[in-house]
A and B are shown apart, each in its own frame.
Chain A
């Protein structure tokens, strides 16, 4: 009997097998799709990325610290991203502006320092770190923390933050980002994300960052970046470099540099053989009482008998257009006591003030031969400031009645007084001849007691201290002096209990004449600037006594005295 196709006996289960095959194929497709999706961002990739990102971050912080501690005139600056013209060359990985290897990183005038670029791995000393997708790391650095060109002067200190927006909100705590870009993706539109089918050709200077990292706008007033986003729009792994990461290292470097560069200068502002001091005697200026060091309130004027507070960083010369309370030409000024000129130790001529800052002395004399001329004046508040002598600002001239004015060589000196003022004296020898009549003219400018170079924010050369005042580290620096080492106790020096004392964890130094305390960033959560000393100094450093303490720098809250980030620096000791 012939069986008809489709009869029950003809059924051999083929349909079932076909169905099973389809089911297996569908299951396999789903399984592979899921595995494939998961493999794009699995934990092992993230772990790898986390390691290389952390390594890069550590190298970045260390690079900053070393440069800040050395001679960088912008301590705290971060390197620029990789120079685009180094990409795909043997210099790849070098920070912009282009620098040569080997050697220190000089800067060129080429303003090619971008906000975003690849990590300058070679400048940091690293290997070319790759993320899990074998892509080099990218790097974002906030404005204000990188050099635009060789003349850029930054203003970085403990209270500075970044100028970027992160994840849609201002994030002053973020100063840099290090990014593992992950594989190329088809970026879908989303909040903060511009659609972009990422295409990655061979690395070249013309690389578009949007082909590597997602959801950013470097051109925004505050460059905007993301650390997270929708899966269809974002696959970067981003590590923030925050002020909490960076500033402690910066403070360590700056404290080290202050000890080397600032303390020695401060030690010798009023020291023998000048200012009437002899031997190894030194005098330290009075402190400016602690106040909110915001520029609107802080005049930086020392007051007798204040010995603890802020550095007396007032100045007289070159006051800027917008008033700076620290600039006060009338603080260190001529005393109301009229200066005089004495000839041959006997004839006294009173001088006249031709302006608040200038003195003029004139007179005539008859002499058989050369005679001695001596100018005496008093300048107020010298020991309440940082000043130095400029002998060129006192000139002595003479002439016979028939001749032109001629200049006499002048020797100028100053002597501190116990009230903090200073006696200024100038000596000259002027000629006389056969009893002829001569005329003398002495001009004395208040600039004879001029601003100390430590106050000069414009100094940028090698070895200059301009960074300290330019970046306003003086606002974050507490200053103390033993009363026995102020002008009121000339020429004594402290001894025993008169000296300042520093308690270290396992030792004590009890012979300190003067010290500085770098207060560091706010670690008690208060905003800066602040008018409360305890918001700057910790524990025993803010109680006003002569005893300071240098505890371990620590943010561990369980430690006996933590958090603590004061750094005590000895300016001078017996």
Chain B
């Protein structure tokens, strides 16, 4: 009769397990980092998509109403203020929010304001009646872009003369981009802007470029995202704008102008 011999132990050593855990940890970290980056990228693209959708809805609003909407205010619950357009309510044409309810924007918060992919409210600025129009061959009664009657009477020769987009906040004033090299758009082409303050919400962590977009004046800044520590601070705002040509082309095609 053969003697019983215990089977040889074949488990993993602690060293082997440690190596495996390290490898798994590295893989998980890499995956999480990639997933996080992809989430950010997806939010960025989703916000861009929402801004473009808002842009199209504003133009559609113009075709239906013969004018651009005023921004929503802090108390208008996502409607333009005042309802019916005209002279836009305080804080005025530059410092409000996208009038989500007025234009039919579908993604909004509990208070009715359009939001970006990070849950921050989407902002909106429209050319102000306080700044004289340029190029008008006939009357130039204000407000022009937010009043259907005036827009029709003034005609398509009138161009805005206030909103402007700059490359950076360095050298800008409350009305201009400053040096010619800092100008991104001509001062007579932009009738409205829609923008997101990005993931950081343009709050404490924002730099001077982001601050320029929320200071309530008519000068805005747009460039590719910049990290914390960039010369003008972190920048993750996204902006799209409507040119006067696009607006008039829409209204002409709809038979509303001239």
Residues of A within 8 A of B (CB): 51, 55, 58-63, 65-66, 69-71, 90, 100-104, 122-127, 248-249, 252-253, 255-257, 260, 552-554
Contact = CB atoms under 8 A, between A and B. Distances in A.
Interface string B147-189: 0000000011101000000010000000000001111111111
Contacts of A123: 186
B258 A256 contact: yes
Nearest to B155: A256
Nearest to A100: B180
Contacts of B52: 51
A129 to B, nearest CB: 11
A445 B109 CA distance: 81
Given A61-B245, A248-B252, A257-B137, 10 more contacts: A62-B249, A65-B156, A65-B252, A66-B135, A71-B137, A101-B180, A103-B186, A127-B184, A252-B257, A255-B258
Contacts of B245: 58-63, 65-66, 124-125
29 contacts: A58-B246, A59-B246, A60-B245, A61-B245, A61-B249, A61-B252, A62-B243, A62-B246, A62-B247, A62-B252, A63-B245, A65-B248, A66-B157, A71-B137, A90-B180, A90-B181, A101-B186, A103-B186, A123-B186, A124-B189, A124-B243, A125-B244, A127-B241, A248-B253, A249-B252, A252-B156, A252-B257, A260-B138, A552-B255
B240 interface: yes
A65 B249 contact: yes
A51 B49 CA distance: 11
Contacts of B159: 66
A102 B187 contact: yes
A199 B53 CA distance: 35
A257 B255 CA distance: 16
Contacts of B241: 125, 127
Nearest to A250: B252
Interface string B64-81: 000000000000000000
A259 B250 CA distance: 21
A100 B156 CA distance: 23
Residue with the highest number of chain A CB atoms closer than 10 Å, among B181, B241, B246: B246
Interface of B: 52, 135, 137-138, 155-157, 159, 167, 180-190, 222, 240-241, 243-250, 252-253, 255, 257-258
A102 B240 CA distance: 20
A63 B252 CA distance: 12
In order of increasing CB-CB distance, the 3 nearest A-B pairs are A62-B245, A125-B189, A125-B243
Contacts of B257: 252
Contacts of A253: 156, 252, 258
A62 B255 CA distance: 14
Contacts of A255: 258
A154 to B, nearest CB: 19
Nearest to B250: A58
Nearest to B136: A70
A356 B135 CA distance: 48
B180 A62 contact: no
Given A69-B258, A101-B180, A252-B252, A55 B155 contact: no
A102 B161 CA distance: 11
A249 to B, nearest CB: 5
Given A59-B246, A62-B246, A102 B252 contact: no
Contacts of B180: 90, 100-101
Contacts of B135: 66, 70, 104
Contact of B244 (A55, A62, A552): A62
Contact of A256 (B156, B243, B247): B156
A125 B255 contact: no
Contacts of A66: 135, 156-157, 159, 244-245, 248
Given A100-B180, A248-B253, A252-B257, A62 B186 contact: no
Contacts of A256: 155-157, 258
Nearest to B248: A62
Nearest to B179: A90
B243 A102 contact: no
A255 B167 CA distance: 38
B249 A125 contact: no
B243 A126 contact: yes
A210 B252 CA distance: 36
A126 B244 CA distance: 10
A125 B248 contact: no
Given A122-B185, A256-B155, A69 B137 contact: yes
Contacts of A124: 189, 243, 245
A552 B240 CA distance: 32
Contacts of A69: 137, 155-157, 258
A182 B130 CA distance: 43
Nearest to A99: B186
B253 A249 contact: yes
Contacts of B188: 102, 104
A122 B167 CA distance: 13
Which of B135, B182, B241, B252 neighbours the largest number of chain A CB atoms within 10 Å of its CB? B252
B249 A101 contact: no
Nearest to A101: B183
Contact of A554 (B190, B255, B258): B255
B224 to A, nearest CB: 11
A137 B180 CA distance: 24
Choose among B157, B190, B244 the residue with the greatest number of A CB atoms under 10 Å from its CB.
Answer: B157
A126 B184 CA distance: 9
Contacts of B240: 127
B248 to A, nearest CB: 5
Contacts of B255: 552-554
B175 to A, nearest CB: 12
A465 B85 CA distance: 37
Contacts of A104: 135, 188
B253 A55 contact: no
A52 B159 CA distance: 23
A237 B33 CA distance: 35
A329 to B, nearest CB: 36
Nearest to B181: A90
Nearest to B182: A90
A126 B245 CA distance: 10
Contacts of A122: 184-186
Contacts of A554: 255
A162 to B, nearest CB: 19
Contacts of B182: 90
Nearest to A56: B246
B127 to A, nearest CB: 12
A65 B246 CA distance: 10
A521 B253 CA distance: 15
Given A58-B250, A66-B159, A260 B137 contact: yes
Contacts of B187: 102
A90 B246 CA distance: 24
A318 B187 CA distance: 44
A249 B257 CA distance: 9
Contacts of B244: 62, 66, 125
A55 B156 contact: no
B186 A125 contact: yes
A249 B241 CA distance: 22
Contacts of A248: 252-253
A344 B135 CA distance: 56
A60 B245 CA distance: 7
Contact of B190 (A55, A60, A125): A125
